[in-house]
Structure 1
Amino acid sequence: MRSSILKSAAEPARAIVSDRIALTGFIVLAAIVAMALFAPLLATHDPLHINELEEGTLMQRTQAEDGSVRWVLSEPLGDVTVYDAAWQDGVGIAVARGGNVYRYDGQWAALDAPFTESLRAVAVSAAGRALIVGEGGIMALYDDTTGGWQQVDAPESVDLHAVAWSDDDTAWVVGEEETIWRLDLSTDAVSIETLQSPVNRGLDLNGIAFDADGSGLVIGERGVVLQFDPDNDSFSLLRLPTNRTLNDIHLTADGTGLIVGERGTLLAREGADADWVVEDAPDSRAIRAGWIGSEGEAIAVARNGIIMERHGDGWHLASTQGARHLRTLMVTEDHFYALGSDRFVNRLSPPTSEHWFGTDHLGRDLYSQNVYGSRIALLVGFLGAALVVLIGANVGLIAGYFRGRTETVLMRTVDVMYGIPFEPFALILVLLFEPSLLIVILAVSLLTWRTVARLIRSQVLSLRERPFVKAARVAGASDLRIMYIHIFPNVMPLVFLELAIIVGVSIIAEATLSFLGLGPPQSISWGGILHNARLSGAWRDAWWWNLPPGIFIMITVLSVFFISRSLELVANPRLRARR
C-alpha cells in the first residue's frame, strides 16, 4: 500500500521531467526558492536601511534665453563634502572633508594638500594667498603664485570655523568656544594674537567679515554678534533682532551686508550705517551661506538643495536640480556656484552599480527589497496552497464518500463560499483583527479551498464505486481506511495539480492584498513594494521601482503554471491518450 502511495507521488515528478516547459518552470521556481532561502547572502544592502551619499556637490547658476534662472548640477568635485570656497582675482579655492583642497581657474582641479583633517574654511587675499583652517586647529597658507604650502602652528587645538583677511598681511580666524585669533602674516614667522570675546560663555563662532574701514563683525551661536572697533582694538557685543544660531556673513565694500542662520534666518542691511533688518525667507530650513551684491541682489543656500535669491521685491526660491545639502557659495566675475554637501538620502536613484534596481523615495535599496520580498510571496504561496489543499481535499473526500446529508451540507457550504468576494472578505478580516501574515494566509485559504473540494468530490464519487473499494469494504476495512488508504492515492495526481495551481493563485492573492495595504506590516513583499510605489506618487516616473516586483510575480506564477500544465497529464488520462 505504501508503494502505491509512493508510486502516485512519483508520477508528477516524472511528468515534470519529461516536459521541457514544465522543467524550465521548475528550474525557475527552484531559483526563486533559493533566492528566498539565501536572501541575507544575496541582498547587497539592508532592505530597510536608508542609503545616504556624500559628494562634493557643485551647482552652477544658469540663465536661459527667456531670462529664467536655474541652478543645475555639475560634475562633483569629489566624494567628500565641500565646506567652504572663496574666490579672488581669478583664483578660487574650495576646501573639503578629509583634507581635500580644490583650485578653480575656469576649471576645477584637486590640489596635492598635506592634510588629513577636515578643512572648514578658506579665504583668499588680493595677493593670491589662501589661508585654510579646519578641525583641531589646523591652519595653512597656500601661495597660488608658487603652489607652495606653509603650515601654521595653532596656539591650541580647537575646531576653527571661519577665516577672513582684513588686509594683505592680516588674517582673522574664529572657531569653537569663542576662539578669536589675529594672524600677522607679513613675515615667514607667523605671529598669532588671541583676542578676548566680551561674551565669554564658550559659544561657537561661525563667521567673520570686515568693512572697508577696518571694522568687523563676528557671528555665532544663539544670535551672538561681536563688533570689532579698530580704534580701540577690541570687540563689543552687538544686539541684533534674533537669537537663532548664525552661520555666515558677507559684507561688500560699501557696507551692504547679509547674515544667514538657522530656521531660515535672513538679516540684511543697506549700508555701513544702516540697521540690520530681519527679512522673510521663503523656506525655514537652515541657511548655511549667503552672498550680497552692492546693488542689493543676494543669494542664500540651505539644506535639501534650497537656494533663495533676492531681486528687489523680496526673496524667492530658485529653481534647482537635485536636493543636495548646500554649504557655501563662490561668486566669480561671470559665474555663481553653490557647493556642498552633507550626507544626503539617495532618493529615487535609477539602477547603478551600487544599487542594481535603484532606490525608493526613502533611499532604500530596491534590489534587496525584491530579494527579501520573495520570502513572503513563497511562504504565503506554499503555506496557503498546502492549507487550501488540506481543507479542500478532506471536504471533497468526506462529501464524495459519504454522500447523502453530509454531502448536501458540505456542498451547500461550498456554494456559500463561492458567493463571498475575496477582497472585501480580506478587508473584514483585517478590520476584525489586525494586518498580519496569518491574516493573509487565512484570507487566501478560507476562500480558495472551495474549488479543490468540488474537484476532489467529483473524483471520489467515481472512485467509491470501483471494485477495489467494494472489495475493501467487504474485507471489513473502516470508512477512514478506505478513504485515506484506498481512495486518496488515486486522487493524489489531482491534488498535486491543484496544489501547483493554488500556489500561483496564493502568490497573486498575497500581492493583491499587500498592494491594497492589507498585507503584513513591517514585512517586505512584492505587493508591498508596489504599494509603497503607489503611495509615494513616484510610480509613474520611477519605472525601476514598479518593474522588478511585477516581473518577479509574473515569472513565479508562470513557472507554477508551466508545472501545473504537465501535471494535467497525470490527473487527466484523456489528455495522456491524446499525447
Structure 2
Amino acid sequence: MNRSRFLKSAQEPVKAILGDRLALVGLFVLLSIIAMALFAPFLSTHEPLAVNEREEGSLFMRSVDGDQVHWLASSPLGEVTLNAADYRDGLGMAVGRDGVVWRYAGDGWSPLDTPITTTLNAVNIREDGATLVAGAQGTVALWSPDDTWQTFEMPEPLSVNDIAWRDDNTALLVGGGETVWLLNLVSGEVTSLESPVGRGFELNSVALDTDGSAWLVGDRGIALRLDPQDDSLSLERLPGNRELNHIHIADSGAGLIVGERGTLLVREGAQARWQSQSAPDSRAMRAGWITDEGHAFAVGRSGIVFEREPGGEWQLVPSDEERHLRALMVTEDSFFAIGSDRFVNRLAPPSGEHWFGTDHLGRDLFSQNIHGSQIALLVGFLGAALVVLIGANVGLVAGYFRGRTETVLMRTVDVMYGIPFEPFALILVLLFEPSLFIVILAVSLLTWRTVARLIRSQVLSLRERPFVKAARVAGASDLRIMYLHIFPNVMPLVFLELAIIVGVSIIAEATLSFLGLGPPQSISWGGILHNARLSGAWRDAWWWNLPPGLLIMITVLSVFFISRSLELVANPRLRARR
C-alpha cells in the first residue's frame, strides 16, 4: 500500500509535465542539452582546448597617407603559404606550398594551373615574361607566356631556395647542402658548382651584382661570391654570423641582406663595403628590397616591417596583422609583402570552420560551449540532489520531532541565511583549492536552507493527520512514519524544489566560474565568460559572450517551465483551481 502510494506520488509530477505545453517545451530543451552533454566528444568540431592554427597566402600593401606609412592587409591569395614573389614589366608571380602559383597583372591576382604538387620556394621572371620556379625535392619548372609548363630534372632531389637569371638561357639555383647549380634551359644540362666551404650549409638566397658576379648567402652568415669569368666560388667575409635569409641588389649597386634576429647588412653602392646596421626589432627578417636611391624595406616574422630612408635609420612601420611575411614584390607604383606561415586563428568571428568563432588563444568556442554543458548539468543535478537530500531530511526531522530538535535545526537554518553565497564560496576556495567538488559543496551547503523550511512547514501539517496517528498507534517507528507515511506526501514538493534548485545550481556554478572560483582545468559556460572578461576582448568579440549566456538562460528557463508545472502538484490551492 505504501509502495503504491509512493509510486502514485511520483507519477503526479510526470502527468503534470505532460499536461503542460510550456513544460513539454522545457523538457524537450533540457533533454536536448543533456544529450549535448552526453555526446559532447562526438558533437565537437575541434578539441575544445586545442589552439587552432590557420594558413593563408597573406597579402599586404604599402599605404602612404601624408607622413604616415602603414602596411594594410588585403584579401589573402588562397589558403596556403606563399614563399616567394617576383615582378618585371607588368607581370608578377607569387609561389608557395603545394605548387601554388599566383599571377599578378594590372587587374589584380589570379591563380595559375600548374603540374607541380611540391612546395615552391623561388620564382624569377625573365625579360620576355618566361618565369622559372623552383622548390622542394629538386623541383624546377619554366612557365611560358603562352601558359605552358616545362619541367627540368635535377641531379639530386634537394630543396632549391632561390633563383637568379644569368642570361636568357642560363639560371643560377641555390639550395640545401650548399647546392649551387647552373641550369641551361636550352639543353636542360645542369652543372654543379663546388662550394669552398663544404660543410653542407643551407644557401637561402642569390642575387646578381652589377659586374655580372653573383652573391650567395645562407646559414651561419655564410656568403659566397661567384666569379662570372670561370664560375668559381669564393668565401666572402660579412659582418656577423647569423643566418642570412635574403639578398637584393639594385641596378645602382646598392644592396641589402636580411637575416635572423633582425640582421640588416647594407651596401650603399657597387664599390662600397657591407655594413651591419641597427634594427628596431630583433625578430627574424625574411625578405628585403633596396631601391637605386637607397630606400630600403625589410619584412619578417609576426608582420614586422622595417623601412629606411636613404642614409637614414631603420624604422619600425605598423602593419595590420601579425602574419609571417616571407617575400617582397615591388611594382612601378606599389609595394607588396607576401606570406605567411601557419598562424594562430585568434578572435576569428563565426565561420564555416568555427561555428561560434575562436577566442584569444585560437580555441574553438563551439566545442567549448558543447563541453561546457557537462559541468553545468553535473553541478546542476548533483548539487540539486545534495540540496534536496540535506534539506528534505532536515525539514522532516524538524517538522516531525519539533521541540528542542526543531529549535536547533531551524536556528541553524537562520544562521545559514545570514551567510552570503559568493564570500562563502571564496573562503572555501581559499581554504582548499578551486575544484568541481568545491563548487558543488558551496552550492549544496547554502541552498538547502530554503528546502528545509518548506519541507518542515509541510510536515507540521501532515504529522497531525489521521493516517499518521493511526500508524503511531499501530506501533510504527518514527523513521517508518517519516519515510513511509509522511515523505510520499511531500514528494510533489520535493520534485518542485529539485527542479528549482537545478536552475539555481547552474546559475551559482556560472557565477563562481565567472568570478574565477570554478575548476581551473574544466570547461564551463561561466568559465568561458570569465576568459572573455580577462582577455579584454569581450566588448568586441560578441561571439565569445553571447553563446554561453544564451545557453545558461535557455537551460535555466527550461527548468523554470518544468518547475512551473510541478507547482500545480505541490500547491493544493492551485491544484484545486485546476
TM-score using structure 2 length: 0.96
Q: Distance in 2 between matches of 1:467 and 1:438?
A: 43
1:569 partner amino acid: L
Query: What letter corresponds to residue 460 of structure 2 in structure 1?
Result: L
Q: In the TM superposition, what whole-angstrom CA distance separates every residue of 1:53-75 from its partner, at most 9, and x where no partner exists? A: 222222222234x4533322323
Q: Which among 193, 196, 199 is matched to residue 197 of structure 2?
A: 199
Determine the structure 2 residue equivalent to 1:159: 159
Aligned to 1:115: 116
The worse-fitting range, judged by mean Cα deviation, of 176-185 and 319-328 is: 319-328
Q: Secondary structure at the match of 1:167?
A: coil
**Aligned residue for 2:284?**
286
Which whole-Å CA distance do the structure 1 matches of 2:267 and 2:417 have between them?
A: 77
Cα distance in structure 1, aligned partners of 2:536 and 2:435: 25
The amino acid that maps onto 1:2 is R
The residue identity in structure 1 corresponding to 2:102 is Y
> Does the aligned pair in 1 maintain the 2:62–2:72 contact within 8 Å?
yes
- Structure 2, unmatched stretches of 5+, are none
How far is 1:454 from its partner? 1.3
Q: Which residue of 1 aligns with 2:264?
A: 266
Residue 368 of structure 2: aligned partner: 369
Separation in 1, partners of 2:276, 2:422: 57
The CA distance in 1 between the partners of 2:555 and 2:202, in whole Å, is 59
Partners of 1:258 and 1:516 in 2: how far apart? 53
Look up the match of 1:324.
323
Deviates more, 1:547-556 or 1:253-262: 253-262
Give the C-alpha shift of residue 168 in structure 1. 3.1
Identify the residue that residue 524 of structure 1 maps to in structure 2: 523
Deviation sequence 1:194-226 (CA, Å, 0-9, x none): 111121111111011121111221111111112
Report the residue type matching 1:153 in the other structure: E
Cα drift, residue 81 of structure 1: 1.3
Matched AA of 1:273:
Q
Trace 1:399-410 onto structure 2 (pairs within 5 A): 399-410=398-409
User: Post-superposition shift, 1:240?
Assistant: 2.2
CA–CA distance in structure 1, aligned partners of residues 520 and 429 of structure 2: 12
Question: How far is the alpha carbon of 1:517 from its aligned partner?
Answer: 1.4
In 1, Cα distance between equivalents of 2:4 and 2:316: 79
Distance 1:423 1:267 in 2: 61
Report SS of the residue matched to 1:250.
strand
Partner residue, 2:12: 11
Displacement of 1:249 after TM fit?
A: 0.8
Instruction: Name 2:236's counterpart in structure 1.
Output: 238
Deviations 1:101-139 (A, max 9, x none): 222222222222221111110111223222211111111
| 228-237 or 360-369: bigger deviation | 228-237
CA drift of 1:384 comes to: 0.3
Amino acid at match of 1:57: S
Per-residue CA distance 1:77-113 (angstroms, 9 max, x = gap): 2222111111112211211111122222222222222
Task: Please show how residues 117-516 of structure 1 align to structure 2 within 5 Å.
Answer: 117-144=118-145, 146-185=146-185, 188-231=186-229, 233-311=231-309, 313-516=312-515
Residue 231 of structure 1, CA deviation: 5.0
Root mean square deviation, CA, Å? 1.6
Residue type at the aligned position of 1:378 = L
C-alpha distance in 2 between matches for 1:316 and 1:477: 92
Distance 1:7 1:265, change over 3 A: same
TM-fit CA distance, 1:232: 5.5
Say whether 1:63 aligns with 2:64: yes
Question: Could you report, residue by residue, the CA deviation over 1:464-491 in whole angstroms, capped at 9, with x for unpaired residues?
Answer: 1111111111110000000000111111
CA separation in 1, counterparts of 2:494 and 2:349? 44
Q: Does 2:84 align with 1:84?
A: yes
- CA-CA distance at 1:553 after TM superposition: 0.3
- Give 5+ residue unaligned stretches, structure 1: none
Aligned partners of 2:56 and 2:80 also within 8 Å: yes
Deviation at 1:248, TM superposition (A): 0.8
Who is 1:99 aligned against?
A: 99
Distance 1:294 1:465 in 2: 105
Return the offset for 1:173.
0.6
Deviation at 1:270, TM superposition (A): 1.3
Contact 2:510 2:527 in 1 (8 A): yes
Q: Equivalents in 1 of 2:225, 2:407: separation in Å?
A: 96
Q: Write the distance in 2 (CA, Å) between the matches of 1:479 and 1:348.
A: 62
